[in-house]
Homo-oligomer: A and B are copies of this chain.
Amino acid sequence: MEQITSVQNSKIKQANKLKKKRERDKTGLALIEGHHLIEEAIQSNIVVEQLFCIDPNRIDEETLGYAHFAYQITTKVAEVLSETVTPQGIFAVIKQPDFEVVQPKQVLLIDQIQDPGNLGTLIRTADAAGLDLIVLEKGTADPYQDKVLRSSQGSVFHQPIVYRDLKTFISEFDGCVYGTSIEGATSFKEIQPSDSFALLLGNEGAGVRSEILSSTDQNLTIPIYGQAESLNVAIAGSILIYHLKG
């Protein structure tokens, strides 16, 4: 196995660039880290272009064979690639999968959620609930950012996610579209579960932009009984997803 000992190695520099969204968008690639995420990627049949590891003896043959190219790296190189405090010493450059979903019936629409933990957790919940599709508006956190990948627990690799203009998507969607807002909204428990729905969640601070909110069929709210001002958006979204799911 080829060894890479210099942090100046062009493959390492190229992999490191993938920490930037612009580079991920340009190349359609992403850098992932850690045994669990790499296993999840392989299980989801994601293309692994390069695998970098400190100790190949600790990686099973199947994983090594699955990657198009595998390289042994030093601890110093691992530290440069890593975004964690305690690197596991294994990294992969993967190809972001393309999803095409014809006539999705159960959809999560996301209007500019910023916090990577919130986005990742919502992707994980949408996956658990078996939703067909997640649609992101431009300006939402990037699913291939390290923290989103981590909190999604690998769901990013198989849960269909696309970027679309939400207003256009909503106008074409065949089913009930539920927004979320505090004013002029119906308590979610009054809504019956359904086979076909789209749920629209908005930015942590600003909520769903009014121009998009006005194009929904109905807006839902979760009642607050105590003193908290609101719920976290990933929590609220997950409560609503599992309610609508029935």
Inter-chain contact B227/A158, CB cutoff 8 Å: yes
Q: A85 to chain B: closest CB distance in Å?
A: 15
Q: How far is the CA of A189 from the CA of B230 in the complex (A)?
A: 24
Footprint of B on A, CB under 8 Å? 44, 117, 121, 124-131, 151, 153, 155, 158-159, 189, 222, 224-232, 234-235, 238-239, 242, 245-246
Q: Assembly of this chain: how many copies?
A: 2
Closest to A120 in B: B232
Extra A-B contacts (9), CB below 8 Å, given A128-B225, A155-B227: A124-B235, A126-B226, A128-B226, A129-B226, A151-B232, A155-B226, A234-B235, A235-B235, A239-B239
> Of B131, B159, B222, which contacts A242 at CB under 8 A?
B222
Interface centre among A125, A159, A245 (most CB of B within 10 A): A125
Closest B residue to A152 by beta carbon equals B228
Considering the complex, give the chain B residue whose CB is closest to the CB of A131: B226
